[in-house]
A and B are shown apart, each in its own frame.
Chain A
Amino acid sequence: MKPFDEMYARLPGGQGSADLGQLRAHYETYQDWLSKQTQEQMKTRRAEAEMVFRRVGITFAVYGEKDAEGDGTERLIPFDLIPRIIPSHEWQSLEKGLVQRVQALNRFIHDVYHDQEILKAGLIPSAQVLENAQFRPQMLGVNVPHQVYSHISGIDIVRAANEQGVGEYYVLEDNLRVPSGVSYMLEDRKMMMRLFPELFRLHPVAPVAHYPDLLLETLRNCSPASSSEPTVVVLTPGMFNSAYFEHAFLAQQMGVELVEGKDLFVKDDFVYMRTTQGPRRVDVIYRRVDDDFLDPAVFRPQSTLGCPGLMQAYRQGHVNICNAVGTGIADDKSIYPFVPKMIEFYLGEKPILHNVPTYICRESEDLKYTLDHLSELVVKEVHGAGGYGMLVGPTASKSEIEQFRAALISDPQRYIAQPTLSLSSCPTYVDSGVAPRHIDLRPFVLSGKTVQMVPGGLTRVALQEGSLVVNSSQGGGTKDTWILEY
């Protein structure tokens, strides 16, 4: 796969070069505007953005880290001033592909916890599912409203050029447990509108601010109770969680309570929250707590983040948990290679979005290929997340490669490998001026009675020159993502 730049069909020459490259049509207006901005103006805007983010407290916590002053556990995610622009026709096909993929994934999860047709058909090796650490036997036979398990899906999309040099979107990863980042999508847009209102007159940018409305509608639709006024809550592990800002933000935007495990209790298989006016029934829990911590009576007994008895109430259909327990079985990296097959199996359709070719190291042939090509491949831990536990072959040192080789040989089923995708690049405002940096995209797909999404997503950018790791925990930043309406 070849490099692809979002803004230029051919990148311009070095600094001071007269060569302006070859601009893509949907960036023309923006480039025209950008060329009229001085360095000073852009710097002032960047400082303003940082000041506002800090004042508003849009921060994330970095586990176990402190800066020189000892209070650096709250960090800002760097915000880049240059938007990532996606033309309307590309979004339309992306959206179709996302809806299709998420529908198939939900069908798969339902199937896995009920009739297991896909295993019977032999499309996925049974052991891969049933012996998977993400498989939750507690969910077998449990019925959930609308048979929807992954209500909020964050699908990570990357882009690279195909043989003809045309940019193709690939799904890198499905995030179906507790995907985060949507608050940055919303805050980045607010910030852009504040800093550069004139740009929004020049571009027909599709709005995203109604995301919390869609989310609330989705959650209310998934209430198990017949009540016309279901009580929805957001369950957070608490203010020391790295995504706490987002939990509080979403609860506030939806106008629902932000609860911690200790605010909930279960009585006679119904869930209540403790309020100043006594107990109040809870119908839908948008949880931002991992499965393992949800119910100490069923999962980790020492967890204080959850609520004992919750699973029993859930299995009885007295409360809905969003996302459902056990969705990890569908976003596990070892299951990922089978998603295109799921789409064909459940929907009878051809997949619209491509997967990145993947070598499953538990298969001996794939393992052999991986070991022979370690310096070209990206090797990931099946259960890893956040950019940890991963080898990027082309940039890794000899000793890192040998470390992974040993790990692969001793425990191959912990790993998958993929060709090193040259993630597409997008002009980014860095200290030296405007320069290309690698990006990805995480749109958020909402599934309730219907599947819907706002036109946009979170664009993450690797701020280090040449880096392919966009995770915020590893020095990544974010950009506003513009879907043009025409």
Chain B
Amino acid sequence: MLSRTADHLYWMSRYTERAENTARMLDVNYQTSLLPQSTAVAQVGWQGLLSISELTHAYQKIHGEVVPSRVMEFMVKDESNPSSIISCLKGARENARAVRGTLTTEVWETQNQTWLELNRRLKAGDFERDPGQFFEWVKYRSHLSRGVTVGTMLIDESLRFMRLGTFLERADNTARLVDVKFHAVQSDFFGAANAKDQEYDFYHWSAILRSVSGFEIYRKVYRDVISPERVAELLILRSDMPRSVHASMNEVVSNLEVLANDQSVETIRRAGKLRSELQYGVISEILANGLHAFLTQFLDRVNDLGMGISRDFLIAS
């Protein structure tokens, strides 16, 4: 297939996935903000959200101080913010439009309708009226987009590039989420001193789990109280947790192996190496060496993988 076509498909999926993850993170913060908590704690949550996406600076330039409603608006409907939901869904739709002939009618119509509906909802004030429902809608459109893709597309290169985009983006986004959320409470990472903190911890960690639809999964897997180590393990190392870094990397590698061409040997080697480190990694070791350092390095390597994929497949020589 055309390199340009592959590029559009790959980015279409990345943007869709990114929109979903942005909605998930906003939703968590929004839901947590409904709980009784100090302004300072809430502030940390919204700041974390901006720093996850490396947007603190861009936000401050426009809005200055961190104000929850402004952060939400910035992350939802500000087209000057490349990670806002509107920018991501627009990017997804524009990429889809550029290759609509390669997509099945259902996939294209899903993308197109998401875009039209998003504009309708924003104009109608749906987001301000009920942010939670709006985020839910974004998530479901992403579910639908993935479902209609695997449900109708021929299992060929096109589909592989779309899957590759989805999972590379997800690996990146989940790693960022874990990094920021753990960073925020680094000081009292290993257990809370008093009952009040313990209660706070429970909500903090369960919110993170919910943001990746992992709350029930956690209960099912560990059948125990929520502890930070296990949350980290679940989100980083468990290959059966669909939004974990490890599970995402498994998909990246398996799709890359099918797509292999003459130039891609090195990229595939690096992806495989990264995956195997997750496969044979142990959470206690990672924590001992510093979670933040581990994730920072991981994000660099994912970024490097993305460039390798572009170079080998998407930018025609």
Contact = CB atoms under 8 A, between A and B. Distances in A.
Asked if chains A and B come from one complex, the reply is: yes
Given A56-B109, A57-B112, A71-B119, A263 B101 contact: no
A118 to B, nearest CB: 40
B224 interface: no
B116 A278 contact: no
A263 B262 contact: no
A251 B6 CA distance: 16
A389 B113 CA distance: 37
Nearest to A258: B101
Contacts of A276: 1-3, 6, 157, 161, 259, 261, 313-314
Contact of B101 (A55, A249, A277): A249
Query: Dominant SS at the B interface?
Result: helix
Nearest to B160: A276
A258 to B, nearest CB: 5
Contacts of B313: 276
A276 B116 CA distance: 32
A259 interface: yes
Nearest to A280: B2
B163 interface: no
A194 interface: no
Q: Which of B5, B6, B100, B108 has the most CB of A within 10 A?
A: B100
A274 B7 CA distance: 12
6 nearest interchain CB pairs? A274-B316, A252-B101, A248-B101, A251-B101, A57-B112, A276-B313
B98 interface: yes
B53 interface: no
Q: What size tier do the contact residues of chain B reach?
A: 20 to 34
Interface string A137-176: 0000000000000000000000000000000000000000
Contacts of B97: 57, 239
A54 interface: yes
A257 B2 contact: yes
Query: Dominant SS at the A interface?
Result: mixed
19 contacts: A55-B112, A55-B113, A56-B109, A239-B94, A239-B98, A248-B99, A252-B101, A257-B5, A258-B101, A259-B2, A262-B4, A273-B2, A274-B2, A274-B316, A274-B317, A275-B2, A275-B3, A276-B157, A276-B313
Contacts of A252: 100-102
Interface of B: 1-6, 94, 97-102, 105, 108-109, 112-113, 116, 119, 157, 161, 259, 261-262, 313-314, 316-317
Contacts of A54: 116
Contact of A275 (B1, B101, B102, B113): B1
B100 A274 contact: no
Q: Which of A57, A239, A263, A273 has the most CB of B within 10 A?
A: A57
Nearest to B105: A56
Nearest to B263: A278
Nearest to B111: A57
A263 B4 contact: yes
A426 to B, nearest CB: 31
A263 B1 contact: no
Given A239-B94, A239-B97, A258-B102, 10 more contacts: A54-B116, A56-B112, A238-B98, A252-B100, A258-B101, A259-B2, A260-B4, A275-B1, A276-B1, A278-B261
A274 B112 contact: no
B115 to A, nearest CB: 9
Contacts of A249: 101
B262 A278 contact: yes
Contacts of B262: 278
Nearest to B261: A277
Contacts of A260: 4
